[in-house]
Chains A and B, each alone.
Chain A
């Protein structure tokens, strides 16, 4: 019975996203504004839907449809999740996200932003009987509270300066607006998981059910970036301090995320860190665009902004695919620890192919959809080196090209590690050996998202132009970008030569099956395979000082060199930020709140005294000023 209601909910969600998508397609090219006839307190709500918002609505529909199809079968494995609660929070989250995307003033934005934060926290806490999940939900809730507080402060400040709540009226080009701009940037960065505020993200994404992490990573984090574009970029921010802070934060985030992704052994955490990396890239794009437009280089600014939006959309697609694929593995193999997986490719071919597509896209490899955004960012950076400008900025561009290529190589190694250890070789545990595709609906969802990834990769040029026109219609200058991706050429050459090679060399050949080469020792145990740890070790060693990477090995036995009896190897990574910065900070907060807690005496008279004294003080203040 419960299952049935799950299916109804999922059908409703599909219907919602389909209808939103159809609506967005019909109204494409027009700018709609709507002000409801009622007031919220003394404030009127303003909604505005332009093409930029519609692009995000398309992303929303694609991600939501896949998740709606995926959810009912996926949720069966959780006995402790209350399905009704899950669906209610999911609906709340979906609707509030849609309304955040189209909200045009600060009050409206904040209201739905809060609903979004709370409902997503409820989603993270779905499986709340586990201690780990409760801790993650608490961390996430704390992060969103701080984010909202900072954001509120920024909004209020802007209201004081401009006397308006509507985003369009906010102009950030005056020096007095730099501090509120900084506050807004911080608030949105906390929500998006930008370094050094990224700590909540791996906790929350790995504790939440895969469907909600897919939605949060695929769509919710993008909304923070959209807000950044809407408020700061369209508000013509030109403070070099804020822009360079954002740029440096983006660079550090991209590198930091990918570095920690490399050494994770839990599939979900690995993907969560890679999503931090991608958000860093998007932030780099936005900051770079801001910088270029404050230097009056319209073309570069436009290219970088298009790169940001395109990467938002594409990252949303492939990252939700990655999380859903993880969910499929979780359902059939029971665990997500890479050390317990292996050999899944044969048992779960659909998941394997879809995950390979997602990983190819996440590594930004050419015919797929991760590539266009990154490529355009590279182009923008390169253009910046070539035009007239300050040496400092050019050097920064050179260094960020260097950083981007290193990040690209690192993410490749991290995702190859995840993919190969989980899907190739032999199963490392019985659960993994018995895994199989469990549900058709889940496979359908995966294939749907994978084909979205492939299609948006193939039609990348069309996507770039439509994003460009959407930006132009949202009030930014229209620019024609001369460069275009040679996608069709790549695809034709690749497919043509691949088929030719296959039929020339491999097709009719008879093959002989034999065991993997075992050096003559007889059958290899699955334990003899390379683990995720050992795969990442040579790369992690290079970044030892940053990761605090320790590899302890102890070999016991009488003649330990030749006949070891027991080998103990332990790898340890310490997140400096967590232990050296956040832990003391948290301890301080704890101590201070304990002393504040003394105010709570439990006696009603004392409370009344508080109320009375506060009232008197306020009255006195009112008289004095």
Chain B
């Protein structure tokens, strides 16, 4: 199997996302998320190099600044503030969810091969499988964790997956759309952060498994 540089970066990002599942420490999770996003930014830049599309360089820079840098820092600041260092973990033990994720990573290859090929240049099935795998990892992360901050991380991983998929299938979206999404994301994370503060204040914990008490 011959991989181009962006594909390699994306696959490594997907692998890092799988590894994220293995630890319950929030700082480790955020660090791995940052690495994953840096890899995606790198892939974007490489893609720009291959296609000669200048906009991709700008997007890579934006991703690096916002998603790989600001967002993890902000989240780790929140977790420091709330003195939450470790997730409690839910029904699936952390190591097992990591194994599950790895297996899904491989299965996403099988899935990506089945995607109807748009013969436009730049379509790559390893890239698509990385996207699918990132998406699934994010979902499992959200499923297997209980702290609200982990939910935000899971959501961000899902977003990375969608972005990766778009990047590899359609060469990314126009710059304006991409910037809009990034801005939205930043705002969403900020709002989520504020909400987490609010939850902590009202319930004295940020365990979302206990939210079902709110049911009538």
Contacts and interface: CB of A to CB of B under 8 A. Distances in A.
A and B touch in the complex (CB under 8 A): yes
Interface of A: 390-392, 395, 399
Contacts of A391: 106-107, 109-110, 113
Contacts of A399: 103
Q: Residue among A391, A395, A399 with the most chain B CB within 10 A?
A: A391
Decide if the interface of chain A is mainly helix, strand, loop or mixed. Answer: helix
5 contacts: A391-B107, A391-B110, A392-B107, A395-B103, A395-B110
A409 B144 CA distance: 28
Contacts of B113: 391
Contacts of B109: 391
Closest 3 pairs between A and B when the two form their complex, measured CB to CB: A391-B110, A395-B106, A392-B110
Given A391-B110, A392-B110, A395-B106, 10 more contacts: A390-B110, A391-B106, A391-B107, A391-B109, A391-B113, A392-B107, A395-B103, A395-B107, A395-B110, A399-B103
A395 B106 CA distance: 8
A399 B103 CA distance: 9
Nearest to B91: A545
B64 to A, nearest CB: 33
A391 B125 CA distance: 14
Contacts of A395: 103, 106-107, 110
Nearest to A402: B99
Interface in B104-140: 106-107, 109-110, 113
A304 B106 CA distance: 25
Contacts of B106: 391, 395
Nearest to B108: A391
Nearest to A392: B110
B162 to A, nearest CB: 23
Nearest to B112: A391
Contacts of A392: 107, 110
A391 B105 CA distance: 11
A392 B113 CA distance: 12
A193 B109 CA distance: 36
A545 to B, nearest CB: 9
A237 B88 CA distance: 48
Nearest to A542: B93
A390 B114 CA distance: 11
B89 to A, nearest CB: 13
A391 B106 CA distance: 8
Nearest to A393: B110
A390 B111 CA distance: 11
A399 B99 CA distance: 11
Nearest to B93: A545
A399 B110 CA distance: 16
A390 B113 CA distance: 10
Nearest to B109: A391
A399 B104 CA distance: 12
Nearest to B106: A395
A544 to B, nearest CB: 11
B95 to A, nearest CB: 11
